[in-house]
Amino acid sequence: MSPTQISARPPGPARLDGLQMLRFFAAASVLFVHTLHEALSFDFAGPQSAVARAESWNFGAGVDVFFVLSGFLMFYISSDSFGAPGAQAKFLWRRIVRLVPLYWLFTVAMLLAMVAVPGQLAHTQIQPAHALASFAFVPWLDATGLPHPILGLGWTLNYEMFFYLVFSFALLLPRRIGLTAIFALFAIFALINSLLDPSWVQAKFWSDPIIIEFLFGIGLAIAARRGWALPAGIAWAAIAFGLAGLALAPRLAGNENELLRVLANGIPAALMVAGAGSLRFARLSGPGRWLVLGGDASYALYLSHPFTINVMVLAWEKLHLGSPWAFAALTGVVAVAASLVIHVVLERPLTRYLQGLGTTRRSPVAIKPAE
């Protein structure tokens, strides 16, 4: 892979391979920490083992990278759509097509798993209101008292859908006014979060300071659209410093102050996005192409890896194996391979079909010329 510096002119909404690779890193880090957690939960590794020490590191901060990335990509792609007729509907349709079908399929799969293999899941109580809220992307308390949907890791998608909705209304306005409204609204939400009673589940959830990470991404995208970028060497350094910052974040901020924790994770995540977004690749080698494909399949990996992990746990127990690192390595390989299959066979064709369907419905009816 040969990176070159971004040109000085504002880029259009072209493909950013560096960000696609970062998407794969973020999904893989979440996969890794969940795999280590399962290795501990099923006694593949002891509580004082190297696996336990590794699990304490901040690999779950891949979620913070996803949120900054989301803010970046939404503005970067839609920068020229503010105030344009039909921009809101087009934006929402594309986001719904990208997010909803695969999530609903895996939510249904989780409901079936709760019935079929309850012993492998953290909770198995199916409540109709909770199930409906899960499909509607509305935060709802689960059986453990957490505002998580049926597919537990879908809590991040509840934030994503909230952000998409807010951003879509901003698209109805001129760009400067729309951006000002988003920044003001999210800042107010984050500031009042600590004043809200926990019983206000939805308000408490959507005003969590973690939404500030979306603003970090928008800010970086504004800079990128204006042609600002880091030279290649500094871009790689930003990625390295961001990675180190994420690893150290829990030790610097702890969990006492939610806003401080978000800044401790969000700023390093923003550094990584700034670095990856500044890289341009003259050509991609075989490994580079595979990393980009992994980024394309990152959503499938995020949604499918809990199922892969549980299948691997059943196989590991059946074979009476105990090596936690072998379990983590093999599970990672299988999870990534499964996500690539899901992306190529299911996600990509379905997304293209639905996006084409939306385009067809919005296009004027073609009139066949008289013969």
Write the pLDDT tens digit of every residue in 272-317: 999 999 998 877 888 889 999 999 999 999 999 999 998 998 898 8
Q: What is the pLDDT of residue 4?
A: 40
Residue 143: inside a domain, yes or no?
Answer: yes
pLDDT of 117 strictly over 50: yes
Contact at 8 Å (CB) between 215 and 222? no
14 vs 183: which has the higher pLDDT: 183
Contact at 8 Å (CB) between 238 and 275? yes
Residue 283: inside a domain, yes or no?
Answer: yes
Output phi, psi for 292, to 5 deg. Answer: -65, -45
171 vs 54: which has the higher pLDDT: 171
Q: Would you mind telling me the total number of residues written for the chain in this entry?
A: 371
Residue 231 confidence class, pLDDT cut points 50, 70, 90: very high
Concatenated DSSP letters for 108-177? Answer: HHHHHHHHH-GGGSS-----HHHHHHHHTT-----TTS----SSGGGHHHHHHHHHHHHHHHHTTS-HHH
What percentage of the chain carries pLDDT values higher than 90? 63
Residue 260: inside a domain, yes or no?
Answer: yes
Output phi, psi for 135, to 5 deg. Answer: -70, -25
Residue 364 confidence class, pLDDT cut points 50, 70, 90: very low
Contact at 8 Å (CB) between 232 and 5? yes
The model's pLDDT over 11-30, given as tens digits with 9 standing for 90+, comes to 444 568 999 999 999 999 99
Residue 367: inside a domain, yes or no?
Answer: no
pLDDT of 241 strictly over 80: yes
pLDDT of 53 strictly over 80: no
Q: For 252-276, b where at least 16 C-beta lie within 10 A, e where not — what string?
A: ebeeeeebebbbbbbbbbbbbbbbb
pLDDT of 153 strictly over 60: yes
pLDDT of 249 strictly over 60: yes
Residue 47 confidence class, pLDDT cut points 50, 70, 90: low
d(CA 171, CA 174): 7
Residue 196: inside a domain, yes or no?
Answer: yes
- Number of domains comprising the chain: 1
134 is in which domain, residue-wise?
3-362
